[in-house]
Amino acid sequence: MPRVIPPVPDRDDQYFWTGVEEGRLLARRCAHCSFLQHPPSPMCPKCGSVDWLIQELSGRGVVYSWIVSRHPSEAESSPRIVALVELEEGPRLVSNLQDVTVPAVVTGMPVELAFAEFDGVKLPQFRPVGGGS
Residues 107-117 have a mean pLDDT of: 96
State the pTM of this model. 0.86
pLDDT mean across residues, the chain: 91
Residue 1 has pLDDT above 70, yes or no: no
**Residue ranges, CATH 2.40.50, the chain:** 58-133
Q: DSSP states of 59-126 as a string?
A: -EEEEEEEEEE--SS-TTSPPEEEEEEEETTS-EEEEEE-S--GGG--TT-EEEEEEEEETTEEEEEE
Q: DSSP states of 24-46 as a string?
A: --EEEEETTT--EESS--SS-TT
Residue 133 has pLDDT above 60, yes or no: no
Residues 10-30 have a mean pLDDT of: 93
Residues 74-80 have a mean pLDDT of: 81
The reported pLDDT for the residue numbered 2 is: 56
Residue 58 has pLDDT above 70, yes or no: yes
Name the pLDDT band for 25 (thresholds 50, 70, 90): very high
CATH 3.40.50 for domain 58-133, yes or no, is no
- Per the CB < 8 A criterion, the answer to whether 94 and 126 are in contact is no
- Per the CB < 8 A criterion, the answer to whether 26 and 57 are in contact is yes
Tell me what percent of the residues of the chain surpass a pLDDT of 70: 95
